[in-house]
A and B are shown apart, each in its own frame.
Chain A
Amino acid sequence: MAHKLLNGVRILDLTMVFAGPVSTKILAELGAEVIKIESMQRADVFTRANVYPENTPGNDPWNRGCLFHSLNAGKRGISLNLGMDKGREIFKKLVKKSDALIENFSPRVMENWGLNYEQIKKVNPRIIMVSISGLGHYGPLRDYYMYVPGMEGMSGMTYNTGYPDEPPLLSGCAYGDWVAGANAAMALITTLFHQKTTGRGQYVDVSGREAAVCHIGDIVMDYVINGRDRKRIGNKHLQYAPHGCYRCRGDDDWVAICIETESQWKRLVQAVGKPELVENKAFATMQRRLDNQSELDRIIEEWTVRRDKFEIMKTLQGLRIPVGAVLNMKEVNLNSHLKKRGFFQLVEHGEGIGQRPIPTQIPAKFHGFGKFALKRAPRFGEDSEYVLGSLLGMSKQDLARLEEEKVIAKTPAFPPGKPTRLDLIEKQQAGFIDADYLDELKKHFGAEIG
């Protein structure tokens, strides 16, 4: 559920793919009016036209991609050709009527269009402009060509993720993109507070890599203090043992267990049916358990491997031990706690797609502010009438002319949509397919899905 905290805040959104859309989705869920401005030549193919409902691209694949729907619900959308003078003129009119502008092009793009901060500021001196990039907008490497593996890889995060005897591991959820986007939202809301109190705008330069470094600050500090360059340690913790991920009954089922205190340790050995371990010198103190944790992990897994992960969670939580089942994407969608908390909002997508659960990007439960339901993500060029008509006072004829002149469009220049290669995914075991997903969701949410 979205909340009305940023009433009257208007944000122009020139971002694509994951990072930028995360930042503006956060602001949209907090009640800001976000106007997504898309190019028809270089629109967001990766999220707009990818992963279709029931694996069916349909005739307008660009309006059906699930990655786009989940990251852009609650936003308005128009198309605008910023490569044309007329497109830029319209854009500047919108700048005049907005509080903030956010973009994630490579550093040269806005400059080449004559739309850098200095130029934007002349149009609207109180505007905030946020640029998101991999390495930042100035500095010798600013033009590096990179995606999320670059941001994570150059931050120290990848180097510190994975098992010690294996390659550094990229995150599984494009986490570096999330870090970049969420930190851009952090900067945006900070500067909005400043703008509200002083009336002044400013420019914000977000480097996704730098933001990622901030998220491993404790690891960096070991180098600062001891000159010790940390390496990946798998699932281990420097202070606590056992601290691991254990195989459970099932095909790909796991549980995470961590023991932080002596009393938890004593309760754990009872639970796994090895009370004699309390007397065992090899495990007598936290330090001994840290030293001998491979043996400990083996003993714990002997117990977990024959049990269901949820049953283990229930048993150990009953003993006040920190334990969590490793939820897969199906189980996250069907999780009772997340449902109770309202983490997912059912959003009506319209004909052919119906209702689907959309995850929140700012999972905060507010008390003291009004609530509202997010509208589905905009179809391509959907809000021309509101944005160009109502906000800028253009007539229907004006819009028709702009469309003729290819300044705006209702369809992007996209290649035909392709279904996801579920066959390859299954063959390589990169994921599993649940044929009953619509029924499972119906049961879980008690609502029509699809």
Chain B
Amino acid sequence: MSEQVFSNVKILDLTQGIAGPYCTKLFSSFGAEVIKVEKPDRGDISREMGPFPNDERNPEKSGTFFYLNTNKKSITVNLRRKEGVGICKRLLETMDVLVESFAPGCLTRLGLSKKVLKEINPRLIVTSISAFGKTGPYRNYKANNLTSSALGGAMHLMRPGNSPKKRPVIQGGFQAEYSTGLLSYIATVAALIGRADSGGGASVDMSMMECVSTTLMGHVAEYPYLGLSRRTNPFAIHGYPIGYSVPCRDGWISLTPGIGGAPNIPLLIDRPELLDDPLFTKTQARMAEPGKFDGLIIPWLSNHDKWNITAKAQELRLAFTPVLSAGELFTDPQLKAREFFETTSHPQLGKIASPGAPAKLSATPAHPGKAPILGEHNREILGKYGYTQKEITEWRQSGII
């Protein structure tokens, strides 16, 4: 195995669902030892999420759980029992990071207050991931991926350029969750780097609502500079009423005519006589009459296939690309050449592929792995931390692990 970035970093992972586990997945992919603490009976809630093979529920066969928990070690600990909290405390003595996704205040109620954690390990970094963070008027509100996307502002913009007052729709999948996991990872690595200088511990308080708002980038700034509150995508606002999906014979094409013009579109659609038409030379002409523009290109696109359209358009330096389904990713020549998907073997799922690393690091690549069986590492981890086989057996019988 190649060199690992975090070969000396240990993380106790008290998260479940998507955001927290995605944060710690990035750590485990880059070599950190991530010890995932799960509830003894059911484990992480994402074990109930599916997709399951043939839709038959099985906590060891959830595709979502698998994807989010590769390379982690699973121990089962009942945190409602003081012996269970005691196990966490002993583990925390040697940990670098604790990542948790409980509701604010919950960790303290479990007996793991800031003060206690500092006593156990003064150099510990505690990353807390919650819907709204630990402070502020919404801190005790309930939330999830949908309602955070709404409050964060991203959902308001989810309308097509040609019907901007339509009912907003959520971004596909769980984008509030993934964004939060990614930013929590970045903040935690930053704290690890900062800790090397400061010598002390630190805490990081993450809020899913804010993580959604941050994805708005400069779009949210149009209000304080201009008084503009937009309802749709940037292409619809700044003179390119495009950037939507246009139908073609075998699916959809996404297109952006180009910043400053799209002079070659008439050549793509075999209508060279339109080369000087303002619709193709002036963004504002397109913006004023988006329907007319569509009317000219859709008939040609409808008679051609997405990859063929893309190949011809790319030759003409046009930013036309196919809209791909998840399944179509597996035949995409670029992903194939880059060996994007990784394949590992799981005792219950068998040989299984999953999306690989979000970035290719030449010296320390993320490494593929499999998700743990519930409690798979109980004996290994607890043994390593000085618990006897007898204690482990007793705890199992009394439901502590």
| A430 engages B362 (CB within 8 Å) | no
| A210 engages B358 (CB within 8 Å) | yes
| B183 engages A149 (CB within 8 Å) | no
Within 8 A of B (CB), among A117-137: 117, 130, 135-136
Q: Which of A140, A159, A367 makes the CB contact (< 8 A) with B325?
A: A159
The contact string, 1 if C-beta is below 8 Å from chain A, for chain B 178-195, is 110011111101111111
| A368 engages B202 (CB within 8 Å) | yes
Q: Which of B54, B160, B198, B236 makes the CB contact (< 8 A) with A167?
A: B160
| B151 engages A167 (CB within 8 Å) | no
Nearest B residue to A142 by beta-carbon distance? Answer: B334
Asked if B24 CB lies within 8 Å of chain A CBs, one says: no
Report the Cα distance A299→B237, complex, angstroms.
35
The contact string, 1 if C-beta is below 8 Å from chain B, for chain A 216-257, is 111111111111111110110111000101010000101111
| A194 engages B363 (CB within 8 Å) | yes
- Residues of B contacting A148 in the complex (Cβ-Cβ under 8 angstroms): 243, 256
| B206 engages A364 (CB within 8 Å) | yes
Asked if B1 CB lies within 8 Å of chain A CBs, one says: no
| B63 engages A218 (CB within 8 Å) | yes
Asked if B386 CB lies within 8 Å of chain A CBs, one says: no
Identify the stretch in A64-72, A88-96, A385-393, A396-404 within 8 Å (CB) of chain B at 4 or more residues.
A64-72
| B226 engages A54 (CB within 8 Å) | yes
Q: Which of A157, A256, A430 makes the CB contact (< 8 A) with B164?
A: A430
The contact string, 1 if C-beta is below 8 Å from chain B, for chain A 401-441, is 00000000000000000001110110011111111111001
Nearest B residue to A220 by beta-carbon distance? Answer: B326
Q: Which of A232, A252, A367, A441 makes the CB contact (< 8 A) with B202?
A: A367
B277 to A: closest C-beta gap in Å: 19
> Could you name 5 residue pairs across A and B whose Cβ atoms are closer than 8 Å?
A216-B173, A324-B146, A341-B210, A359-B221, A437-B227
Residue picked from A203, A217, A434, most chain B C-beta under 10 Å: A217
A189 to B: closest C-beta gap in Å: 5
Q: A255-B150, A356-B225 are in contact. Are A145 and B318 (CB under 8 A)?
A: yes
Q: Which of B169, B187, B200 makes the CB contact (< 8 A) with A235?
A: B169
- Residues of A contacting B337 in the complex (Cβ-Cβ under 8 angstroms): 138-140
| A340 engages B136 (CB within 8 Å) | yes
Identify the stretch in B83-91, B137-145, B268-276, B375-383 within 8 Å (CB) of chain A at 4 or more residues.
B137-145
Asked if A58 CB lies within 8 Å of chain B CBs, one says: no
Asked if A110 CB lies within 8 Å of chain B CBs, one says: no
Within 8 A of B (CB), among A130-187: 130, 135-136, 138-150, 152-163, 166-175, 177-178, 182-187
Report the Cα distance A255→B154, complex, angstroms.
13
| B147 engages A324 (CB within 8 Å) | yes
Residue picked from A157, A257, A362, A368, most chain B C-beta under 10 Å: A368
Asked if B51 CB lies within 8 Å of chain A CBs, one says: yes
- Residues of B contacting A220 in the complex (Cβ-Cβ under 8 angstroms): 67, 326, 329, 354-355
**How many residues in B have their beta carbons less than 8 Å from beta carbons of A?**
164
Asked if A80 CB lies within 8 Å of chain B CBs, one says: no
Report the Cα distance A130→B360, complex, angstroms.
10
Report the Cα distance A220→B360, complex, angstroms.
20
| B288 engages A172 (CB within 8 Å) | no
Asked if A78 CB lies within 8 Å of chain B CBs, one says: no
| B229 engages A245 (CB within 8 Å) | no
Within 8 A of B (CB), among A1-54: 3-7, 18, 22, 26, 30-31, 45-47, 50-54
Q: Which of A153, A424, A436 makes the CB contact (< 8 A) with B287?
A: A424
A39 to B: closest C-beta gap in Å: 16
Nearest B residue to A255 by beta-carbon distance? Answer: B150
| B133 engages A365 (CB within 8 Å) | yes
Within 8 A of B (CB), among A241-300: 243, 245, 247, 252, 254-258, 260
| B186 engages A185 (CB within 8 Å) | yes
- Residues of B contacting A112 in the complex (Cβ-Cβ under 8 angstroms): none
- Residues of A contacting B174 in the complex (Cβ-Cβ under 8 angstroms): 218
| B186 engages A186 (CB within 8 Å) | yes
| A202 engages B186 (CB within 8 Å) | no
The contact string, 1 if C-beta is below 8 Å from chain A, for chain B 64-106, is 1011100000000000000000000000000000000000000
| B206 engages A225 (CB within 8 Å) | no
Asked if B314 CB lies within 8 Å of chain A CBs, one says: yes
- Residues of A contacting B362 in the complex (Cβ-Cβ under 8 angstroms): 117, 202-205
Asked if A98 CB lies within 8 Å of chain B CBs, one says: no
- Residues of A contacting B30 in the complex (Cβ-Cβ under 8 angstroms): 190
Asked if A366 CB lies within 8 Å of chain B CBs, one says: yes
Report the Cα distance A332→B254, complex, angstroms.
29
| A431 engages B237 (CB within 8 Å) | yes
Asked if A87 CB lies within 8 Å of chain B CBs, one says: no
| A327 engages B156 (CB within 8 Å) | yes
Nearest B residue to A227 by beta-carbon distance? Answer: B327
Nearest B residue to A415 by beta-carbon distance? Answer: B260
A52 to B: closest C-beta gap in Å: 7
Asked if A320 CB lies within 8 Å of chain B CBs, one says: yes
- Residues of B contacting A172 in the complex (Cβ-Cβ under 8 angstroms): 154, 156-159, 219, 230-233
| A326 engages B156 (CB within 8 Å) | yes
- Residues of A contacting B330 in the complex (Cβ-Cβ under 8 angstroms): 223
